[in-house]
Amino acid sequence: MTMQEKINELLSLREKARLGGGQDKIDKQHAKGKYSARERLLMFLDEGSFEEFDMFLTHRCVDFGLENDHPLGDGVITGYGTVNGRLVYVYSQDFTVFGGSLSETVAQKINKVQDQAMKVGAPLIGFNDSGGARIQEGVASLAGYSSIFQRNVLASGVVPQISVIFGPCAGGAVYSPALTDFIMMAKNTSYMFVTGPKVVKTVTNEDVTTEDLGGASVHARKSGVAHFAVNTEEEGIALLRELISYLPSNNMEEPPYVPTNDPINRLEDSLNSIIPDNPNLPYDVKNVIGAIVDDGKFLEIQSSFAQNLVIGFARMNGMTIGIVANQPKYLAGVLDINSSRKGGRFIRFCDAFNIPLLTLVDVPGFLPGTGQEYGGLIVHGAKLLYAYAESTVPKVTIILRKDYGGAYCVMSPKTLRGDINYAWPSAEIAVMGGSGAAEILYGSQMKKIENDAERKAFLDAKVEDYREKFANPYVAAKRGFLDDVIEPRNTRFRVIRAFESLKNKRQENPAKKHDNLPM
């Protein structure tokens, strides 16, 4: 063969590999409202930046007729490219090739990009669209999953890992996404579960649809497994690119800096009146966040799950920060099992990747009830506390209103190594609310008052007395538990200055093999 003939052969093989399982199967993907594995990568990565690995790798199975069918590249497309000019490693499972099932060689391809991402310190993004383990390969396929899981664990906290579920992901396959930092799902076309509807029916006699068992809405609202649920793949890929813009490439880098024209000293007068005079009335903490961050932009994480706690990324004076905020608009902002899990994992992610933390506090306590206690509230609440206590990134806390009891101890106080703690004048910092405290402190005296009106007047007076003595920020400020009481409209300026003062913070935890986080 001449060189030109060899080149023509190469080009022909490349064209064949790019078609995966064939144009007819790609058309079926499109008919379901799904893109092909290659189309997803080309949409996600900067134009012309994709460099593919192992385009000609084929499976090694010689049983069940597969010895006569060797699609080039097997069931996954792998390689690297850039997003807004920054290097990322990617893999995209190809449903047109044996349903995207995982073979020994598919695992080998994924392992390669996992290893490369770790070696060079770049994020790893996986697009999942697979029928699961390739049954024809038996234990070799299962071993392939384990090899992926092992690398997920080793990469955790070293490079950001993001799983995008744009199709089926079931059985053992779900554990790789579960080990990564963020999971995105597409509504109506993706699902995740350990056991499917048929197994559920056999074992528990429950009738449940695929969507109700493991659809995007279920995992975004009920289980908290999905961090994002999008309506279309285009929407998801745009959101994915935005998410990456906030993250450093690895744990040795600082987060990206994005210049802003939003003035540091911008005053936000609306914040001076955002807290209702009645302490029992709600407000939306997202309005506080929007008022103080650069250009009002806030990327919320798990927006539909445990809505009593708000988490997400924003920038202040161009610097990426993670925000954790109690939400008085939902369950009065109490902490419970789900919000503690949600907040704890987000805080640990930020700490692993050098992202400073801003905590906005308005919390009346932990949610009472047998459901919470039987569900392990003690251990789950400790996860949130633990995350704050072990984190060494800059931490700024602002108490907006209520900060009561055990919840005070959890929400990044000075004694959990909070670096700079401020409070608004509306802050109420105490062991409990005035009404509960007065009933405990003066209960015996109240029993002696027979007249209902007099008893109420006595209680109201004692509640007010308690609030004046304890439920205000100045008691905490006098004891050094607050660094200052600030005017709400100055919050943006004070927070930015606080973070700037902490840029060179150096703090290390004691040497250990690893911690023993409450599970």
Q: Cα separation of 284 and 330, whole Å?
A: 9
Distance CA 414, CA 487 (A): 20
Q: Torsion-angle region of residue 512: left (phi > 0), alpha (psi -120 to 50) or beta?
A: beta
The strand pairing partners of 90, in sequence order, are 79, 125
Question: Which residue carries 């919320």 as its tokens?
Answer: 300
- In the block, tokens 């790019």 appear at 18
Count of H-run helices and E-run strands, the chain: 20, 17
- Inter-residue contact 115 to 77 (CB < 8 Å): no
* Alpha-carbon distances, residue 94 vs 41, 100, 167, 222, 263 (angstroms): 11, 5, 10, 29, 47
Q: Which long-range contacts (CB under 8 A, 24 or more apart) does 454-461 make?
A: 459/435
Rounded CA-CA distance 298/322 in Å is 10
Which residues are catalytically annotated? 171-172, 406-407
In order of 42, 74, 358, the CA distances from 89 in angstroms are 13, 18, 30
Q: How far is the C-alpha of 413 from the C-alpha of 363, rounded, in Å?
A: 13
